[in-house]
Amino acid sequence: MTVTGDWIDRLAEAKGTLARSSTAERVADVLRGHIMEGAMAPGARLSEEAIGAALGVSRNTLRESFRLLGHERLLVHEFHRGVFVARPGVEDVIDLYRVRRALELSALRGAERAPVEAVERVGAAVREGEEALRRSDWWGVGTANMHFHQAIAGLGGSPRIDEIMRQLLAELRLVFHVMAAPRDFHAPYLEHNRAIYELLRDGAPDAAADRLAEYLDVAERQLVDAFGRLDGSSAPGGEPE
Amino acid sequence: MTVTGDWIDRLAEAKGTLARSSTAERVADVLRGHIMEGAMAPGARLSEEAIGAALGVSRNTLRESFRLLGHERLLVHEFHRGVFVARPGVEDVIDLYRVRRALELSALRGAERAPVEAVERVGAAVREGEEALRRSDWWGVGTANMHFHQAIAGLGGSPRIDEIMRQLLAELRLVFHVMAAPRDFHAPYLEHNRAIYELLRDGAPDAAADRLAEYLDVAERQLVDAFGRLDGSSAPGGEPE
DNA sequence: TATTGAAGGATTGTTCAACAATTACCTCGA
DNA sequence: TCGAGGTAATTGTTGAACAATCCTTCAATA
């Protein structure tokens, strides 16, 4: 007899994690990790030959990885010059916050229709951050903060917005590396996160959005100021001339 | 004496178009054009050997082009199976409109601070569409409509939003190809465009945003209905099983 | 009849080696 | 100090080769 249970759908969901295999993508994963953890400084040049030899992949495959990361704006590719770790500047910070405002606020404002699981992902991120703070795990606090905003943007349930947001936050983590003292930058925002989550959970998404709007303004200004302080010494953004 | 006119900035702007030379990117441009004009039907497979021979580029270079277009969601890359022209489904239409709502409405709502040139780009797109309609140039009407929404999203002056929007609209044009009769789909929206532009120009951006919100709802429903009608015959979206 | 299993061919994934095009560096000379 | 020129190093692109995987076909079996 033909077995056609509905559990077959659950199998189909796992397909994505199964089919994920490609040397170029795995290499991109490795590089992405190194870049975001700061192992490669912003502005550093990535030699095809050196990295290809180090990772044991051919130049062609490595180039595919570079293209992937270039599209995520973690690497910039200059023709005939090579690929470099992106070095975001003040105008990038401003632009990143423009996009964040558009995506996060509109997701929050339309959150009456958000499913409970999506709201709970926000709560989980809040708790994740508080626990990391208790452990004085600053990197973990930053990661949790990213998860928080990812969850906010994910309230609308849009795969495309999720992906855009992932890229934005990865790029933003680069910004933190350019900054002087990113150590405890995130910590003060934890209580804001909790307040926003509770407003959201208690059915006041508009109030939550207003609160988040302030939040974003303050954070942006803080980053812009930090950039302004070190501007002139190394001209972090834009094309050098 | 050193000549330092301000025209040097205008030269710098042209740098982007000048430095743009890479076989992979040029190939991607060609393919993008063919896909968006419907020369290659959604779902069609792109053979590396055939296309490589036709365009006179090597497989490695062609693969780079495929990756570029894959990131724009015009092609989907299935491991060990090849690349296919994307075949958007209903859920893609819904998601595309989610992102459009977030980006276009928030750009419009914050348009008090938009520079005059940006607003005028919206007006130019409106007139472009009206002229195309007069010539019964349906493809031109569609293009002008894309320019209109691109200009709306561009009111905030964000390069990242501009790029996201470009991709979204390219993907949406693919959707129109999947539809049955895309011929005069855009025409009825021209007067909406004009109304929105005039509200915006006359300093009522919030009213313009409300109008655009309706607009998007109607257009989305129309597309979803069109998909529902042809659903079952060829199952345009998702993974085939 | 319908399903399974095993060749066989075709296509993609990846590597390697080579050469062309361009940039970076270094030296030389004024 | 500045510019010109030449050399070395790096990237851009190609072509061929082989491994891995998928699709098709066809026969075998229940």
**Residue B2 covered by a domain:** no
* Mean predicted confidence (pLDDT) in A83-97: 95
Assess whether A29 and A111 both reside in one domain.
no
Tell me the longest C-alpha to C-alpha distance in chain B: 73
Assess whether A68 and A144 both reside in one domain.
no
Nearest nucleotide over every DNA/RNA strand to the B62 CA, judged by C1': D13
Nearest nucleotide over every DNA/RNA strand to the A80 CA, judged by C1': D11
Question: Is nucleic acid strand D under 7 Å from A15's C-beta?
Answer: no
Rounded CA-CA distance B23/B179 in Å is: 33
* Mean predicted confidence (pLDDT) in B157-174: 95
pLDDT band, very low/low/confident/very high, at A16 (cuts 50, 70, 90): low
Rounded CA-CA distance B197/B207 in Å is: 11
* Mean predicted confidence (pLDDT) in B8-29: 67
pLDDT band, very low/low/confident/very high, at B186 (cuts 50, 70, 90): confident
Instruction: Check residue A186 and give its pLDDT.
Output: 75
- Residue B138 sits in a domain of what CATH number? 1.20.120.530
Nearest-CA distance B134 → chain A (Å): 36
* Mean predicted confidence (pLDDT) in B138-166: 95
Strand-by-strand arrangement of the A45-46 sheet: A45-46, A82-85, A75-78
Q: Does residue B161 have a pLDDT over 80?
A: yes
Rounded CA-CA distance B58/A104 in Å is: 43
* Mean predicted confidence (pLDDT) in B166-192: 83
pLDDT band, very low/low/confident/very high, at B3 (cuts 50, 70, 90): very low
**Residue A5 covered by a domain:** no
Assess whether A107 and A225 both reside in one domain.
yes
Q: Does residue A9 have a pLDDT over 90?
A: no
pLDDT digits (tens, 9 = 90+) for A141-181: 989 999 999 999 999 999 999 999 999 999 999 998 877 56
Nearest to B49 by CA among B20, B100, B88, B83: B83
Instruction: Check residue A3 and give its pLDDT.
Output: 44
Instruction: Check residue A8 and give its pLDDT.
Output: 53
Q: Which of residues 29-58 of A touch strand C (CB under 7 A)?
A: 56-58
> Å between A59 CA and C17 C1'?
12
Instruction: Check residue B17 and give its pLDDT.
Output: 52
Q: Domain end: B44, B61, B85, which one?
A: B85
Please give the mean pLDDT across all residues of chain A.
87
Q: Does residue A76 have a pLDDT over 80?
A: yes
> Å between B9 CA and D26 C1'?
69
pLDDT digits (tens, 9 = 90+) for B39-57: 999 999 999 999 999 999 9
Assess whether B153 and B189 both reside in one domain.
yes
**Residue A56 covered by a domain:** yes
Nearest-CA distance B164 → chain A (Å): 9
| Structural domain range at position A96 | 90-230
Question: Is nucleic acid strand C under 7 Å from A106's C-beta?
Answer: no
pLDDT band, very low/low/confident/very high, at B240 (cuts 50, 70, 90): very low
Q: Does residue B72 have a pLDDT over 80?
A: yes
Q: Does residue B15 have a pLDDT over 70?
A: no
**Residue B148 covered by a domain:** yes
- Residue identified by tokens 């190394």 is A234
**Residue A145 covered by a domain:** yes
Assess whether B72 and B102 both reside in one domain.
no
> Å between B57 CA and D15 C1'?
11
Assess whether B113 and B44 both reside in one domain.
no
**Residue B236 covered by a domain:** no
Q: Domain end: B33, B63, B85, which one?
A: B85
Assess whether B109 and B209 both reside in one domain.
yes
Instruction: Check residue B216 and give its pLDDT.
Output: 95
Assess whether B77 and B164 both reside in one domain.
no
**Residue A11 covered by a domain:** no
Please, which residues 167-186 of chain B have a Cβ atom closer than 8 Å to chain A? 168
Assess whether A47 and A156 both reside in one domain.
no
Residue contact A106–B107, C-beta within 8 A: no
- Name the amino acid, one letter, at A165: M
More confident residue, A11 or B34: B34
Question: Is nucleic acid strand C under 7 Å from B59's C-beta?
Answer: yes
* Mean predicted confidence (pLDDT) in A18-35: 86
* Mean predicted confidence (pLDDT) in A19-46: 89
> Å between A64 CA and D17 C1'?
20
Number of domains in chain A: 2
Instruction: Check residue A63 and give its pLDDT.
Output: 94
Q: Does residue B9 have a pLDDT over 70?
A: no
What lies within 8 Å, CB to CB, of B151 at 6+ separation is: B118, B121, B122, B124, B125
Q: Does residue A89 have a pLDDT over 80?
A: yes
What lies within 8 Å, CB to CB, of A6 at 6+ separation is: none
Which region among A126-135, B110-119, B226-235 has the lowest average model confidence (pLDDT)?
B226-235
Q: Does residue A211 have a pLDDT over 90?
A: yes
Rounded CA-CA distance A107/A115 in Å is: 12
- Residue A36 sits in a domain of what CATH number? 1.10.10.10
B67 chain-A contacts, CB cut-off 8 A: 64, 67-68
**Residue B188 covered by a domain:** yes
B98 chain-A contacts, CB cut-off 8 A: 156, 158, 160-161
Nearest nucleotide over every DNA/RNA strand to the B49 CA, judged by C1': C11
Assess whether B146 and B112 both reside in one domain.
yes
More confident residue, A93 or A180: A93
Burial label, B95 (beta-carbon count in 10 A; 0-12, 13-18, 19+): buried
If you measure CA to CA, which chain B residue comes closest to A71? B71
Assess whether A69 and A143 both reside in one domain.
no
Q: Domain end: A68, A85, A102, which one?
A: A85
Assess whether B142 and B178 both reside in one domain.
yes
Please list the residues that pair with B46 across neighbouring strands: B83
> Å between A56 CA and D6 C1'?
35
Encode burial over B177-210: b for 16+ CB neighbours within 10 A, e otherwise. Answer: bbbeebeebbbebbebbbbbbebbeeeebeebbb
Please, which residues 13-42 of chain B have a Cβ atom closer than 8 Å to chain A? 19, 21-22
Q: Does residue B127 have a pLDDT over 70?
A: yes
pLDDT band, very low/low/confident/very high, at B239 (cuts 50, 70, 90): very low
Instruction: Check residue B111 and give its pLDDT.
Output: 94
Instruction: Check residue A238 and give its pLDDT.
Output: 39
- Which of A106, A217, A239 to probe by mutation at the B interface, max B CB count within 10 Å? A106
pLDDT digits (tens, 9 = 90+) for A104-113: 999 999 999 9
